[in-house]
Structure 1
């Protein structure tokens, strides 16, 4: 099995492409190696994590169901990756970070786990941004998977305001960039009006 497209994507940190690459390689392997078990060498942990990276929980669930139980029993990293998926599925935001930290990832998988952790923290931050106007420091730390000092520092860099006395954070909403659409008929009328004024 030629894993070079996957190896190249991992080396270039093109994590957003890995789920599709793995899906295509798996279909190819299933067709080419019909009747031959290829699952033992398949990078299931990376494949699962790549689906999490692009926020494709359903794709990860279907992949998990297709993994032979013998592989799940022999590859603890695959099970550890799926623990992240279970937390994502139940929207247990704080437990996602816990699942990431609770396993000693292999050198091949670790960079993808770190990249997922970073992108996941940004997604949760956006969720907090849209859902709260004020939130406690402790809750923010739980959601972001950080200690309270790091979480406070992280959100203060985004313009939030901390009240040490109440241990509350005031969320600073990001300005929404609205795109002005130009109505051609209004532009035509304006042109005619300006022309009329000048003549």
Structure 2
């Protein structure tokens, strides 16, 4: 079974392509009648779908993995635990599932990259949803201790109201780029000229 394309994608950190690539490779291998189930990188395959936020495909893959393989390869179950927590919106559980397993050398970079992307996504959701938020709530949503959450927020230019203990969210500056329409400019020029004469 040739998984060189998968190893190349992992080496180049093309994590968003892992799930689809594994799907294609799995179909190729299965269509040739090659026994693959014992050797297939199910944990990487699952994490590829999870990284790409394709939970339906991850769920389908999980259901198709033989029970015997799930029982003998705990990394597969650990990857699915992340998927389950995402499915149920258990924010703290996602982080616990990521940190609660000693990932193989093949999976550790993918899981770490997922965790970083997920942390940024959660932080951006907090930015868009709140103007002030408690340190405890940030810690809950970000899977951090309160000290880590406070420091993370302050590093991202939020401020701490010492009297209330609330974090004040810094909203990103939104700049609108105005396009100059030559037709409108011409009409405006003619209008001003008409008013002056």
* TM exceeding 0.5: yes
Q: 1:50-82: CA deviations, max 9, x gaps?
A: 111111111211111111112111111000100
Mark the CA change 1:90 to 1:177 in structure 2 (over 3 Å): closer, same or farther.
Answer: farther
- Cα distance in 2, alignment partners of residues 14 and 192 from structure 1: 55
Is 1:23 the counterpart of 2:23 in the alignment?
yes
What are the residue-to-residue correspondences of 1:62-81 with 2, within 5 Å? 62-81=60-79
Which residue number in structure 1 is paired with residue 127 of structure 2?
Answer: 129
Alignment gaps of 5+ in structure 2: none
SS at match of 1:169: strand
Aligned to 2:2: 2
How well do the aligned residues superpose, as a CA RMSD in angstroms? 2.3
- Give the structure-2-normalised TM-score: 0.90
Structure 1 segment 4-153 matched on structure 2, within 5 A: 4-33=4-33, 36-153=34-151
TM-score between the two structures when normalised by the length of structure 1:
0.89
- Unaligned 5+ segments in structure 1 are none
The whole-number CA distance in structure 1 between the counterparts of 2:126 and 2:148 is 16
**1:112 & 1:37 partners in 2: Cα distance?**
26
Distance in 2 (CA, whole Å) between partners of 1:63 and 1:183 is 52
